[in-house]
Amino acid sequence: MSTIGVSEIDELQRSLRGSLLVPGEPDYDEARKIWNAMIDKRPAMIARCAGSADVRTAVNFARDHGLPLAVRGGGHNIAGSALVNDGLVIDLSRMRSVQVAAHDMRAWVEGGAILGDVDHEAQSFGLATPLGINSTTGVGGLTLGGGFGWLTRKHGLAVDNLVSADIVIASGERLHIDHDSHPDLFWAIRGGGGNFGVVTTFEFALHAVGPMVTGGLIVFPFAQAGPVLRKYRDYVEALDDNVSVWAVLRKAPPLPFLPAAVHGTDVVALAFFSPQPPEAVQSAIADVRAFGEPVGEHVGAVPYAAWQQVFDPLLIPPARNYWKSHNFNQLSDAAIDVVIAYASKLPSEQSEIFLGLLGGAANTHAPDATAYPHREALYAMNVHTRWLDPAEDAACLAWAREFFKAAAPHAAGGVYINFLNEDEADRIAAAYGPNYRRLKEVKAQYDPDNLFRSNQNIRPGV
């Protein structure tokens, strides 16, 4: 890193409409905290940008001074890509504007917005777009990696609903990109992560959703995990796109609809969602209920925005988090057996294994239609290891890595880029799949010196 003088730092501060934080200032330590408490990096400076002009200024400063550069949206990325040691962080967390044009079914979302911001604005018109399952997740990182959630089976991935974007590239130029303007770059940001620049505004297509939808949990005892997961696997093969069911294996939280004796015990929870009203999906709810003998159930009408927040309490920081993930095109009996075996020995009270159901509209696109390539994947399985005490690091990491290794022979080989840890650079090619070569070519055109490399990095090449 080049040596930067006080006068240059002062000049940078004066050129920003936002603020610049450096070590020792009162807000610095708070500004470098992110969702995953395992990440502890110390940037040389944090530029809290107030708009795209600030972003351009910060990009130019980092490039011209040879500073490592990171971009922070929601700060939710498991690998900690929002921060960089001894470099400059472009912090977009003050840029959270969401503008909705209900008549045109469009939303313009700033790069620092979180899912809850979009839901709040869009749901006031009874509209939504497919974005994640946790309201505090950053829209930017989620979308650039592909983005899936409860609406994915009906309306596709976040990138399938991205209409255009404004992006600041490594040269400092701000581009408006879509299918007609810089189509190669627009293709690349739809699944290629933050490798190509800083997206300051996303334009999404919206869909009529809610405000009331159907959602809830049907919870089975762990002793029934084998038959429940096999019936689940067979059921979702032909599931209607209006229904999504995720499987979660964990210790039961103290939910009010569960008997006290079940709290803290191992369970299989099936999360049921449909954008349709309860009366339209009663037969589907009954089908899922019949997978076994539930110990508790709470499924019914719920505001969509509230459903998007249901799992927030399980993800409140600070906590230490480590993920390992596989894509599955199908679940074999052997794969289910591995899931059950490791779910029976969770390393902490907050750890879980979930099977996020894809399919439906997400799988109607060709693998090369967007940079996100995994159009045959039916499940994104995430091993979410979560704990509080650093003394438990070794045991928790070992469990996650052992499970990952045991499940690998039964998986599809690909992986969702947003689920990769900091230590998984060897899986980057698998994450980008058959689109990796084209992504390297686009990278070489728009970021030949790899300025944007605090991510699951695509090195420029031809």
* DSSP characters over 318-362: SBEEEEEEEEESS--HHHHHHHHHHHTT-SSTT-EEEEEE--GGG
In sequence order, which residues have a C-beta less than 8 Å from that of residue 229 and are 6 or more positions away? 247, 268, 331, 336, 339, 340
Closest among 116, 19, 120 to 74, alpha carbons compared: 116
- Burial string for 151-174 (b: 16+ CB within 10 Å, else e) reads bbbbbbbbbbbbbbbbbbbbbbeb
360 sits in the region (left: phi over 0; alpha: psi -120 to 50; else beta) called: left
Domain ranges of the chain: 6-91, 98-209+435-446, 212-419
Q: Are strands 19-21 and 45-48 parallel, antiparallel or unpaired?
A: antiparallel
Q: What's the farthest any 2 CA atoms get from each other in the chain?
A: 69
| Rounded-to-integer distance, Cα 201 and Cα 190, Å | 14
Q: What is the H or E stretch that residue 407 is in?
A: helix 393-407
Q: What is the H or E stretch that residue 205 is in?
A: strand 198-205
**Which CATH entry fits the domain spanning 6-91: 3.30.300.130, 2.60.40.1220, 3.40.50.1370, 3.30.43.10?**
3.30.43.10
pTM (predicted TM-score): 0.97
- Six token digits for residue 376: 């045959």
Q: What is the H or E stretch that residue 100 is in?
A: strand 98-101
pLDDT of residue 125: 98
Distance of CA 318 to the CA centre of its chain: 18
| Alpha-carbon distance values, 294 to 108, 287, 344 (Å) | 42, 12, 18
The CATH code for residues 212-419 is 3.40.462.20
- Six token digits for residue 3: 């040596």
- Burial string for 133-147 (b: 16+ CB within 10 Å, else e) reads bbbbbbbbbbbbbbb
Q: To which residue do tokens 């209006």 refer?
A: 242
Residues 129, 206 contacting (CB under 8 angstroms): yes
Domain 98-209+435-446 has CATH 3.40.50.10440: no
**Would you write out the chain's pLDDT as a tens digit for each of its 462 residues?**
457 899 999 999 999 999 999 999 999 999 999 999 999 999 999 999 999 999 999 999 999 999 999 999 999 999 999 999 999 999 999 999 999 999 999 999 999 999 999 999 999 999 999 999 999 999 999 999 999 999 999 999 999 999 999 999 999 999 999 999 999 999 999 999 999 999 999 999 999 999 999 999 999 999 999 999 999 999 999 999 999 999 999 999 999 999 999 999 999 999 999 999 999 999 999 999 999 999 999 999 999 999 999 999 999 999 999 999 999 999 999 999 999 999 999 999 999 999 999 999 999 999 999 999 999 999 999 999 999 999 999 999 999 999 999 999 999 999 999 999 999 999 999 999 999 999 999 999 999 999 999 999 999 997
- Six token digits for residue 459: 């090195």
pLDDT of residue 1: 44
In sequence order, which residues have a C-beta less than 8 Å from that of residue 268 and are 6 or more positions away? 219, 220, 221, 222, 224, 225, 228, 229, 247, 248, 249
| Rounded-to-integer distance, Cα 232 and Cα 140, Å | 32
| Alpha-carbon distance values, 435 to 163, 353, 377 (Å) | 20, 28, 16
| Rounded-to-integer distance, Cα 112 and Cα 55, Å | 12
Distance of CA 407 to the CA centre of its chain: 22
Distance of CA 283 to the CA centre of its chain: 31
Is the C-alpha dihedral spanning 200, 68, 80, 94 positive or negative?
negative
In sequence order, which residues have a C-beta less than 8 Å from that of residue 261 and are 6 or more positions away? none
